[in-house]
Structures are given as C-alpha cells and as structure tokens.
C-alpha cells in the first residue's frame, strides 16, 4: 500500500473512532493486493486505482463502525460482493463474527480465498441468496447486525432484516445519492415486520466527497 494511501486510511479510521494498528494495516494491504490481482481476471469492482479502492470501498465500509454497538456480535453482510462492508469491518474489529452472503460462485471463491489468506477467524462465506437462507429456520433471529451496501431495494431488504435479526438487533443499510424516496418509505415501515426506523446519517467520503447515506433500523424486542 502506497504511503499516502496508508495515511488516508489511518486518518479515516481515527475520524471514525478507531485506531488501525500494524496488524490491521497489514491485513488491509494484503486484502488490497488480492483484490487488485483477482480483479485483473474477473470483475470484482469497477474501481482500478489503489486510492479509489481504499476510499470508496475500505473507508466507505468502515463508516458503519459508529453504529455497531455490539463489538462481539454476529454480522450478516447481504450481497457481500468483493467483501464490502463485511471484510473491512472484520479487519477493524476482530471480535465480530462475520458471515459474508454472496450469490455469485466466482465472487464467493474470491471471498473464501481472502478469508484463508488473511486468516480471518469466525468469518464464514455463504454462497447463496438471502431468500434461500430464509428457508432455513436456524438463521431466523440469529444475527445481531445485518448490513447491505446499495445492492437491494428497501422493501425486500426490510423483510430480510426482520427475519435474520435477533430482538434489539440493527439493520444497517448503505446507500448513495437519490435516496430521498427510499428515506420517505423507510419511515413508514410496516408494523407487522417488527422493525422500527431509527435514524439516517448523511456523510461524504474523504478526498472524493462522494455522498453516502446510512439507514439504521432496529428489530423490536419480543
């Protein structure tokens, strides 16, 4: 990882309330190397430069940290793709148990390779769709945190969160621009889902100033 990009990642971590030590920075560097190498053979991300990946993938993923209260909880990352936000969250907070759900076999192969290469404990790759997982009652109410990064519209994602979350668990949804309509819909969550809209936060990423919005929902206690 180039020195300037390393400093960007370190400063972003501090701004989010976490100090990334030598272990974390080494893991991020290895992750970046694997991502760039695999991306030359398969379409993992449209971003090609080291700096763009660090800002728009790594730092973007870490923006969820302030909303993860349970640092030893089980996290389900729906539609993980190349591992965002699940793998950066696991690198930054090793005490989390992270489940990376990805329907693509090729992307799942990449995720399994990264988990092995980085020796990430309590990190599971599930090559499946959320709808298929919801047919297994063992996963109902199993996760403390459910995340998704722009991949799924709110209505189905709320149903998924309602199924997977333990009571008092959090659904953290990452979106970009043009989400005002979804924000309006989010505030009118169907009561029978057992979810409550909690808050939303707007932010911009460093250097690029790309806009992000994070929706936070809570699973009602039984």
90 within a domain of the structure (yes/no): yes
> For the chain, what is the total number of helices (H) and then of strands (E)?
9, 7
Q: Establish if 16 belongs to a structural domain.
A: no
Q: Which of 21, 55, 8 is nearest to 203 (CA)?
A: 55
Residue 45 maps to a domain: no
pLDDT above 70 covers a percentage of the chain that reads: 93
Lowest mean pLDDT among 61-70, 132-141, 192-201: 192-201
The CATH number of residue 162's host domain is 3.40.50.150
- C-alpha 118/C-alpha 91 separation (Å) is 9
162's tokens: 């309602």
State yes or no: pLDDT of 161 exceeds 70: yes
β strands within the chain, DSSP E? 74-78, 97-102, 123-127, 143-149, 165-175, 195-204, 211-219
Predicted confidence band at 192 (pLDDT cuts at 50, 70, 90)? confident
pLDDT at 17: 82
> Among residues 221, 220, 222, 210, which one has the least CA distance to residue 63?
210
Distance, in Å, from the CA atom of 204 to the CA atom of 208, rounded to the nearest integer, reads 8
Instruction: Give residue 206's domain range.
Output: 66-219
Instruction: Tell me if the pTM is above 0.95.
Output: no
User: Model confidence over 86-124: pLDDT tens digits?
Assistant: 999 999 999 999 999 999 999 999 999 999 999 999 999
Average pLDDT (132-159) is 90
Q: What is the pLDDT of residues 126-140, one digit of tens each?
A: 999 999 999 999 999
pLDDT surpasses 80 at 182: no
Domain count, the chain: 1
Kindly state whether residue 123 falls inside one of the protein's structural domains: yes
Compute the average pLDDT of residues 183-207. 80
For residue 26, is it within any domain? no
Q: Which of 53, 47, 90, 49 is nearest to 72 (CA)?
A: 90
Q: Within 13 A of 132's CA, how many CA atoms are on the CB side?
A: 9
């Amino acid at each position: 990882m180039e020195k300037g990009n390393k400093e960007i990642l370190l400063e972003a971590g501090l701004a989010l309330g976490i100090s990334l030590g030598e272990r974390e920075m080494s893991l991020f560097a290895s992750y970046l190397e694997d991502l760039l190498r695999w991306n030359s053979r398969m379409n993992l991300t449209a971003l090609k430069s080291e700096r763009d990946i660090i800002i728009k993938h790594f730092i973007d993923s870490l923006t969820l940290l302030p909303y993860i209260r349970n640092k030893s909880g089980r996290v389900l990352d729906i539609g993980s793709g190349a591992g965002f936000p699940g793998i950066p969250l696991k690198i930054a907070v090793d005490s989390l148990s992270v489940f990376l759900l990805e329907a693509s076999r090729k992307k799942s192969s990449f995720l399994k390779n990264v988990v092995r290469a980085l020796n990430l404990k309590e990190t599971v790759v599930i090559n499946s769709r959320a709808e298929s997982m919801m047919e297994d009652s063992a996963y109902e109410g199993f996760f403390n945190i459910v995340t998704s990064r722009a991949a799924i519209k709110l209505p189905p994602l709320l149903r998924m969160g309602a199924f997977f979350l333990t009571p008092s668990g959090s659904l953290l949804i990452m979106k970009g621009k043009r989400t005002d309509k979804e924000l309006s819909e989010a505030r009118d969550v169907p009561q029978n889902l057992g979810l409550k809209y909690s808050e939303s936060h707007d932010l911009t990423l460093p250097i690029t100033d790309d806009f992000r919005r994070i929706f936070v929902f809570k699973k009602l206690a039984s």
